[in-house]
Structures are given as structure tokens and as C-alpha cells.
Amino acid sequence: MKRTFRNILLTLFTIVLMAGLSWADTLKVGVQAPITGSYANEGQGIENGVRLMAAQINAKGGVMGRQIEVIVCDDQGTAMAAAICAKDLVNKGVAMVIGSYTSTAAEAAQKTYFNAGVLQTSDGTADSLTEHGYWTFLRNSFPNSAEAVFAANYMVNVKSYKRIAVISDFSSYAAGLAEATVAEIKKAGGNVVTYAKIKADSQNFTPVLTNIKSKNPDVIFFAGYYSDGGQLRAQQKALGIKADFIGGDANDNADFAKLAGSSAKGALIINVPSPDALPYEIAKTFIADYQRTYGMMPPSIWGLMNIDGMRAIIHAMEHNQSFDTKKAADYLHNMDKPLEGITGSISFAADGNRIGGAYVVKEIQADNSYKVIYAQ
């Protein structure tokens, strides 16, 4: 009898608890990122960052009284999983989605978020991301076209390379960056001796590199991701190719140098400044909190870019005193005063592109640290 009573009480308690959870309104924030797969390191960086930012906002009372609830979906960096994630996150009623890391995954999910009126902010740099006219999409990084101009200028005018080899994989980001860079190099009067493509994750790049070696380039520009870039650099050295190596922005991850091992030294990477080089007070505080919480540095700048996107959207909602996503987007597209961000001031053009962006060239040192050797 006593047990029955206790069971009834427990059931009642559970019902009240469950009902309580659904009554309390939360602000649902989706994270769509590659939690597994080759880019897991970056995906986890985004998830960790968003969770930390959400916890910090919640500790201060949430957004207009609502606590943030983070819902994570793993897109593995692939278009197929991204499309499923998009549907899943929309069904779960998120107001905004942070991510994804890869342009391919971000692009595959865009339309679903647009149709549902869910705001999406991604670090994807493929120009095509902002060419669809979706008001829901906010790029928190800077597009390939801007990086291509910088990279081409650096290679042709600053370093005066005579023979440039370009490599990319087949993803939206990599192919887009490589094509834009090749076009900019030609515009600047440079000489592209070869443009080769590799299959991401295939590990064995020596056949392609051997071909490139026969073209005798003095620099190899790699538009692609760090997981391939580190191996390319190692195999370039192992094949005795003397050319300089310049990696595009997605090579900016600590794993690049680890993969390349002793070959990493001297490799150049073009990107915006690294997390540890961010001069802003807000950045220093957040990175210190991140290190305390997770016991490591953020894997790269990308997670922080995404968090800036999240902060911008929340800032817009608070400014409007409304959770309406359309109003938030309208505000963000016409900000009179940029928001102070972790990765610098943040504001958006009407097409959803982030305004500004200053690139630097970083050289990997013997201890795998970066040294900025050229700034815009």
C-alpha cells in the first residue's frame, strides 16, 4: 500500500515536472556542425563555444527572461546529413541555427531554414551562400572573393612568385576559393602553372603532387581543409618539392601542424587573425573562460566567428524586444552601429555578408606556433 502511494506520488511528480518544462518558454538555439568526421575538431569547437556562450547568457537571466536551450545536430560536414539536420532542427522549433562549419553543409540546409523563417549564421566562406537572396542567412566570416583578392595580391605582387600551382578539393568552399583565386591571379598578371583537384579525405596525395612537381612551381596554394592540408604539406616535403606552401583559411587549425609534423615549419596560412591574437577585451575574457571550461584553446577562429553570429542575432532580438526572426534580420541588415564582437566589430550588408575583414599571412614556426608575417 505504501509502495503504491509512493508510485502515484512519483508519477504525479514526473507529470508536473514534464509539464513544467514545456510551460517554461525557452529560446531554442540550434547548432548544426560536424561533430563527427574529418572536421569534428571544428564542429566540437562550435558546439563548445555555443554552449559556453548560452550558459553565460543564461546565468545573467537569459534573453528577455527566456533561458537558452541548445539543440545540437551533427551534419558530419556533408550535404546529406545537413539536409536532415535542417529538418530536424526546424521541427524542434529553433529560432536560430549556428553553423555549419563547411560551406557545403551550410548551403544544403539554407533553404529549409529560409522556408521556416529560422535565422542561420555560418562561417562558410563560399560566395554562393549569400547569392540565393535568403534573408535568414547571415555570414559571420568573410567571403572567398575577398580572400582570393588578398591571396592573389600576396602571391603575385608581394612575393613575386613566377609559377603558381593551385590545389583544391571538390567542396563548395574549396572549389570556390580556388577558382576565385586563379581568376584573381590572372587578373594580377600572375602565372598559374596548374590547377589540380584532390578528393578530400583520400590521404594519398602523392600522385597529384608528383604531377605538380613536374610543373616546377615556386608556390603551392591549397584551397581546402586542414585535415587534407597537413597531409599535403607532409607529402610535398617527402616528395622533395621545394615550393612554398600557402594554405587557404580552412587550413587555420592546430591540427594542420600536427598532421604535417616536422614538415609544418615554414608553411604559410592566409586567414583573419588567430584567437590568441585577438586584441579585443571581450575576446580575451571569452577565450579565458573557454580555456577554463574545456581545458584547451578553441581549435580555430571559426568557432568564435559563429559565436559572434549568435551574439549578433541575440543582440538584435534584445534591441527589438522581440523574438521575431524577420525583425531581427531586418535590424541586422541595417545596423546603424556595429556590434562589438569577439572577432572584431560585426555588422552585415543587405545580402547577409559580414562587413569588413582584414587578412593576414601566418607562418608556422618550429614549435607549431603562428607568426604573422604580412598583414593587409
Residue 224 touches another protein, criterion: CB under 8 A: no
Shortest gap between Cβ of 263 and another protein (angstroms)?
7
In terms of phi and psi (left: phi > 0; alpha: psi -120 to 50; beta: otherwise), the region of 303 is: alpha
d(CA 349, CA 97): 19
Amino acid at 275: P
Among 7, 11, 14, 210, binds another protein (CB under 8 A): 210
Shortest gap between Cβ of 51 and another protein (angstroms)?
17
- Asked if 346 and 140 count as a contact pair (C-beta separation under 8 A), the reply is yes
Round to the nearest angstrom and report the end-to-end CA distance of the chain. Answer: 78
User: Whose Cβ is closer to another protein: residue 122's or residue 263's?
Assistant: 263
Residue 296 touches another protein, criterion: CB under 8 A: no
Residue 207 touches another protein, criterion: CB under 8 A: yes
User: Nearest CA to 253 among 284, 278, 224, 294?
Assistant: 224
3-state SS track over 122-171: ECCCCHHHHCCCCCCEEECCCCHHHHHHHHHHHHHHHCCCCCEEEEECCC
User: Whose Cβ is closer to another protein: residue 34's or residue 190's?
Assistant: 34
Candidates 29-37, 103-111, 129-137, 303-311; binding stretch for another protein (CB under 8 A): 29-37
d(CA 346, CA 354): 7
User: Which residues have a Cβ under 8 Å from the Cβ of 96 and sit 6 or more positions away?
Assistant: 29, 30, 118, 119, 120, 121, 310, 313, 325
Per-residue burial over 118-141, b if 16 or more Cβ lie within 10 Å, else e, is: bbbbbbbbbbebbeeebbbbbbbb
The rounded Cα 275 to chain-centroid distance in angstroms is 13
User: Whose Cβ is closer to another protein: residue 73's or residue 283's?
Assistant: 73
Among 262, 281, 292, 350, binds another protein (CB under 8 A): 262
Residue 261 touches another protein, criterion: CB under 8 A: yes
Q: Grid coordinates in use for 181?
A: 583565386
In the shown chain, the binding pattern of residues 163 to 202 toward another protein, with x for contact by CB under 8 A and - for none, equals -------x-------------------------xxxx-xx
d(CA 134, CA 117): 10
- Asked if 363 and 266 count as a contact pair (C-beta separation under 8 A), the reply is yes
Residue 46 touches another protein, criterion: CB under 8 A: no
User: Whose Cβ is closer to another protein: residue 187's or residue 242's?
Assistant: 242
In the window 128-167, what residues touch another protein (CB under 8 A)? none
User: Whose Cβ is closer to another protein: residue 24's or residue 296's?
Assistant: 296
Candidates 224-232, 275-283, 332-340, 357-365; binding stretch for another protein (CB under 8 A): 224-232
Interface with another protein (CB under 8 A), residue total 37
Relative orientation angle of helices 301-320 and 40-59, to the nearest 10 degrees = 30
User: Whose Cβ is closer to another protein: residue 40's or residue 146's?
Assistant: 40
Residue 252 touches another protein, criterion: CB under 8 A: no
Residue 65 touches another protein, criterion: CB under 8 A: no
d(CA 286, CA 341): 11
Residue 41 touches another protein, criterion: CB under 8 A: yes
Candidates 36-44, 101-109, 173-181, 325-333; binding stretch for another protein (CB under 8 A): 36-44
**Binding site residues, another protein, CB under 8 A:** 35-38, 40-41, 44, 170, 196-199, 201-204, 206-208, 210-211, 213-214, 227, 230-231, 234, 237-240, 255, 258-259, 261-263
